[in-house]
Structure 1
Amino acid sequence: MTHTPVDQADPPTPHRDLHSEQGALRGEHPGRAENPVIKVADLAWLEFEKPDLDRAETFARDFGFAIAARTEEALWLRGTFAGPPCMVIRRGRASRFIGPAFRAAERTDLVRLAAATGHAVRDIDVPGGAKSVSLLDPSGLPVRVVHCGEQLPALPEQEPLLLNFGTDHRRTNTTQRPPREPSRIQRLGHVVLETRSFLRTLDWYLDTLGLIVSDFLFLDGQRRRGPTMAFIRCDQGSLPVDHHTLALHLGPGTGYVHSAYQVTDLDSIAAGGEYLAERGYQRSWGIGRHIQGSQLFDYWRDPDRFMLEHFADGDLFSCDLEPGWAPMSASGLAQWGPPVTRDFLGANPSPAKLREVITALRDDNELDPARLLGLMKAMSS
């Protein structure tokens, strides 16, 4: 459904550039569905294909994953928290993202989802076993909804450092010496996806999986055309959950942008980053603190150029908070930190990127020349 605001102008607001509890104009997208098919509980894992599982495992260990299972054809990665794995990497001809898997709150949710979508509930090969319904979102991306038979047990944690604040001295007669070692991943936090059919794809996730929007971003001077990015969380009622489990943005591409993995604290991010740099990996952007979501962040590229994020200290929202609205801009991505890089923005020119843009403008989707120019302006502002 397309939502067009009645008020056309962008009124001045003290909440500009920040999450706002009353950010919407009359008639704008409500950010949630009235009667979704189900309400998923969380993101379960992400699925990739790569030709070299040994290289993938080396990076995974350096980035801070533990190995849940390894066969000749698949590598399952996990964090320290109890629960499902974070990621599966299957052997394939080329490196590519397959899609996300969301965790159903109850087994009966799979039955309801299968009946509503005309798909079957099937067994899938996961450590501990699982049932799954396989779908396609409007962008053509495979999306699983799963219910796992057994949870992986918790692993030892990377303990947070005890900090002194002003006159609050919790640490005395001892020094701080965080080891330079991999950041120990605790869990999968979120995935960011790009789509040429933003509103249709957004509504699908809200209507089908019961996700709700935390924050909308819009292009300067084009708010009346609706948002072009959404930070979306799970709806677990009064239980506070991550500010976003999924983020979607309009663009010429389709699919994976980055994924984010929670670690203990800022020292874990920084020391783990030093460890990665010493081993020759490329930092994409960081360290800093975001605005939408407030996370401390640090972005890295794996050997196949996929972007992964270490994060800590993110916002938690219950279902009561309504969506905020803010203009999209590169400068609005962080409260503090180094200037955002062209690599992070995906703004480095290449023949493949040019072909992607030309194809997107030729196809029937939500990206037109005005939208494209607005996006380019936002990423340089």
Structure 2
Amino acid sequence: MSGPLGHGADATTATAHQDLHSEQGAVRGEHPGRSRNPVIKVADLAWLEFEKPDLERAEVFARDFGFQTAARGESELWLRGSFAGSPCMVIRRGRTSRFVGPVFRAAERADLDRLARATGAAVADSDVPGGGKGVALLDPSGFPVRVVHCAADLPALPEQRPLPLNFGTDHRRTNATQRPPREPSRIQRLGHVVLETRVFGRALDWYLDTLGMIVSDFLFLDGQRERGPTMAFIRCDRGSVAVDHHTLAMHLGPGTGYVHSAYQVTDLDALAAGGEYLGERGYRRSWGIGRHIQGSQLFDYWRDPDRFMLEHFADGDLFSSDVEPGWAPMSASGLAQWGPPATRDFLGTNPSPAKLRELLHALRGDNELDPARLLGLLKAMNS
């Protein structure tokens, strides 16, 4: 794949960032954040694929977190939100708990043929409820990535209604109390997935060149901006249609794997009351409640029984394709506008023998992590 300067920068990507979502825009010669001629442009993230030994335990957490079951078999569990469309997640029975990979939704069926021709892959049947077709790929990090076109959408389900709020002299609620029920946050849809990779630059270019995604924000290490970004918040390109600030986020690190996934709920009350419900049932909050900077989402992070991190979010930014990438330094304190400090659990900085082995392996491998990068990352996570 072409490097950071190989995508080409036109007038659209050369304009100033104008402080829309991080501190400044790009300077001349930096990564433009999009490909000039991608193979296809995916429309959204469809679902995520996991394997777990205990599907019964996984389904109990899923319901407590706010998912509903779309389909259940002996060896797989399909989970969904309340919005019409595809499921959010499939969990297949496996010997160990692991993240398999993301699945993206093609804008139209013909995109699968175009993608297959360009990559040498085949178009095959998809096992999604309702049927469909898909193309299986492998990204530079080694993640299996599928692109699918579903034959039928799941119907919409009843929603949690947003609570009417009073603002100053704008009184929308009179002679009525607020009593949000203590119940699971009702998941509406899958929002994004965050991945860690040792080959950040190669993986970034692959998603831009192959799937037509575009960057909303870049983060760089303090004092190392000239070496390029080390994290990117990436959205789908649907032209004038505004979409989530990020559908995929990736950052450079010593590991290769899943970091977290995020699921939209109705509003802050649904997020907070659902968090109380989870806490009462013994689940552990990883970080929250707060509001992010890149993406602006209200957030609350939890660990499932297999220690996968999942996020409830509400009120995220929506960008059309003409919004340029922002550039900002990477830091733990820069992850939120307000809320408690980011925890060591969320940042993945809890010391352990496994972490040490991961660091040593990364420094010896053929990847983009070197001692200067590693020290910069450690500094960022403590700043």
Shared fold, TM over 0.5 = yes
Question: Which of 362, 365, 368 is the equivalent residue of 1:366?
Answer: 368
Aligned to 1:132: 134
- Deviations, residues 273-315 of structure 1 (Å, cap 9, x unaligned): 0000000000000000000000000000000000000000000
Q: Which consecutive residues of structure 1, in runs of 5 or more, have no partner in the other structure?
A: 5-12
Aligned to 1:296: 298
1:351 Cα deviation from its structure 2 partner: 1.0
1:326 Cα deviation from its structure 2 partner: 0.2
Change (3 A) 1:357 1:165: same
Calculate percent identity across the aligned residue pairs.
82
Name the CA distance, whole Å, in 1 between partners of 2:63 and 2:131.
24
Letter in 2 for 1:245: T
Letter in 2 for 1:312: A
Assess if the C-alpha contact under 8 Å between 1:17 and 1:327 holds in 2. no
SS of equivalent to 2:95: coil
TM-score (norm 1): 0.96
Aligned to 2:67: 65
TM-score (norm 2): 0.96
Aligned to 2:97: 95
Q: Which consecutive residues of structure 2, in runs of 5 or more, have no partner in the other structure?
A: 6-15
Assess if the C-alpha contact under 8 Å between 2:79 and 2:88 holds in 1. yes
Aligned to 2:8: none
Name the CA distance, whole Å, in 2 between partners of 1:117 and 1:168.
56
Q: How many residues align?
A: 372
Assess if the C-alpha contact under 8 Å between 1:299 and 1:310 holds in 2. yes
1:140 Cα deviation from its structure 2 partner: 0.6
Runs of 4+ in 1 over 6 A off after TM superposition: 13-17
Name the CA distance, whole Å, in 2 between partners of 1:372 and 1:303.
30
Question: Which of 116, 121, 124 is the equivalent residue of 1:122?
Answer: 124
Kindly report the root-mean-square deviation, in angstroms, between the aligned alpha carbons of the 2 structures. 1.3
Assess if the C-alpha contact under 8 Å between 1:239 and 1:318 holds in 2. yes
Name the CA distance, whole Å, in 1 between partners of 2:4 and 2:141.
20
SS of equivalent to 1:109: helix
Question: Which of 145, 148, 151 is the equivalent residue of 1:146?
Answer: 148
Change (3 A) 1:277 1:167: same
SS of equivalent to 1:27: coil
Aligned to 1:9: none
Name the CA distance, whole Å, in 2 between partners of 1:321 and 1:374.
29
SS of equivalent to 1:177: coil
Assess if the C-alpha contact under 8 Å between 2:262 and 2:311 holds in 1. yes
Name the CA distance, whole Å, in 2 between partners of 1:345 and 1:224.
24
Name the CA distance, whole Å, in 1 between partners of 2:122 and 2:19.
45
1:99 Cα deviation from its structure 2 partner: 0.1
- Deviations, residues 41-88 of structure 1 (Å, cap 9, x unaligned): 000000000000000000000000010000110000000000000000
1:17 Cα deviation from its structure 2 partner: 11
Name the CA distance, whole Å, in 2 between partners of 1:16 and 1:166.
28
Question: Which of 23, 26, 31 is the equivalent residue of 2:25?
Answer: 23
Pair 1:284 & 2:286 matched: yes
